[in-house]
Amino acid sequence: MSKVTLIINDTEVKADKGATILEAARVAGIDIPTLCSHEKLTPYGACRLCTVEITKGQRSQLVASCVYLVEEGLIVNTESEPVTKGRKMLLELLWAHAPGVQALRRYGTKYGISAVRAGMDYGVIPGISSTRTKFDIEPTFCVLCGLCVRYCAEVKRRNAIGFIGRGTEREVVFLPEIASEECPLCGEECYPLCPTGALPLHHALIKAEYSS
């Protein structure tokens, strides 16, 4: 396997060709925040917390390190000002949906976030419905990281849980007919993946529904 040399936070790092910046950073002991990344799953690039600043020649860019492949001579900064500024905002956006959950608190401490931002819509109470917009979003802690969906599809290949809808109406749902057959055989392997605890709760409700 040929190697590639790149610079992460002023440190020279040698990585395998075909590795992502995130993988290369991990091997070098550099911690980049993630939410939707998992070693057993293909990179997803949805949470954008792992965004880093890369510089090639004169141009700088912000990219998701979990999907961007290493390149010879690439200069990477994982904590530059544009990166941390945006990361804080992403955490605040997530916090508004799942305030105080463990997975966010560890980053919250690092980036100084501990409450819902004043002015933001606090997701746990029912959203304000307006005559113009047609939202009436059910309050939930789910942050749509997709770990459960992808684990069930890629690792367990049971496909009992999936996404529906799009945009702000995207949701994670169990398909009752499939879940009732497949989940008992699986042993709830997806539960520990959930960063907010919304999954086990939701599954309990579904089980109640299809066993009745």
Partner 1 sequence: MVQALTELDKKVDEIVSKYRGDKSALIQVLIEIQRENRWLPKEALKQVSQRLGVTLTQIYHIATFYKAFSLKPRGKHSATVCLGTACQVRGAPRLLDNITQTLKINPGETSADMQFSLDTARCLGCCAIGPVMVVDGEYYSKPSRKEVEQIVSAKEIES
Partner 2 sequence: MPILNSAADLEKLRQQILDRDDRKRVVSVTNGTDGRTRNSEAVVQAFINEIKKQGLAGKLIVKSTGCHGFCEKEPTALILPEEICYVGVKPEDVPEIVSQTLAKGKVIKRLLYEDPVSGQRITRESEIPFYKSQNQTVLGNNRFLDMQKIDDYIALSGYSALARVLSEMTPEQVIEEVKSSGLRGRGGAGFPTGMKWEFCHNAEGEPKYVIVNCDEGDPGAYMDRSLMEGNPHSVLEGLLIGSYAIGAQDGYIYVRAEYPLAVENVDIAIRQAEEYGLLGQNILGSGFNFKITVHRGAGAFVCGEETALIASLEGRIGEPRQRPPFPATSGLWGKPTNINNVETWANVPLIINRGAKWFRSLGTERSKGTKIFSLVGKLQNTGLVEAPMGMTLGDIVFNIGGGIPDGKKFKAIQTGGPSGGVIPESLLNTPVDYEELSKLGAIMGSGGMIVMDEDTCLVDVARYFLNFLAGESCGKCVPCREGIYQMLKILDRICEGNGREGDIELLEEIGETVRDFSLCALGRTAPNPVLSTIRYFRDEYEVHIKEKRCPALVCKELISYYIDPEKCQACLICLRDCPAEAITGDKKIVHVIDQEKCTKCGTCLEVCPPRFGAVTKLDRVKVPEPVRQKREVVRK
Is the CB of 106 or the CB of 166 nearer to partner 2? 166
Question: What's the angle, vertex CA 181, arms to CA 160 and CA 150, rounded to 5?
Answer: 20
Q: Is 85 in the site for partner 2 (CB under 8 A)?
A: yes
**Residues of 47-56 as b/e, b for ≥16 C-beta within 10 angstroms?**
bbbbbbbbee
Q: Is 14 in the site for partner 2 (CB under 8 A)?
A: no
Do strands 3-8 and 11-16 pair parallel, antiparallel, or not at all (unpaired)?
antiparallel
Q: Is 36 in the site for partner 1 (CB under 8 A)?
A: no
In whole angstroms, give the CA distance from residue 188 to residue 171: 20
Rule CB under 8 A: which of 35-74 touch partner 2?
A: 45-49, 51, 62-64, 67-68
- Give the shortest CB-210-to-partner 2 separation in angstroms: 26
Q: Which stretch binds partner 1 (CB under 8 A): 44-52, 68-76, 161-169, 184-192?
A: 161-169
Q: Tell me how many residues contact partner 1 (CB under 8 A).
A: 15
- Give the shortest CB-133-to-partner 2 separation in angstroms: 5
Distances (CA, A) of 86 to 81, 82, 92: 9, 6, 10
C-beta separation of 77 from 65 below 8 A: no
Residue 154 φ then ψ, to 5°: -85, -40
Q: Is 206 in the site for partner 1 (CB under 8 A)?
A: no
Q: Which residues of the shown chain bind partner 2 in the complex (CB under 8 A)?
A: 45-49, 51, 62-64, 67-68, 82, 85-86, 89-90, 93-94, 96-97, 117-121, 127-128, 130-133, 143-144, 146, 165-170
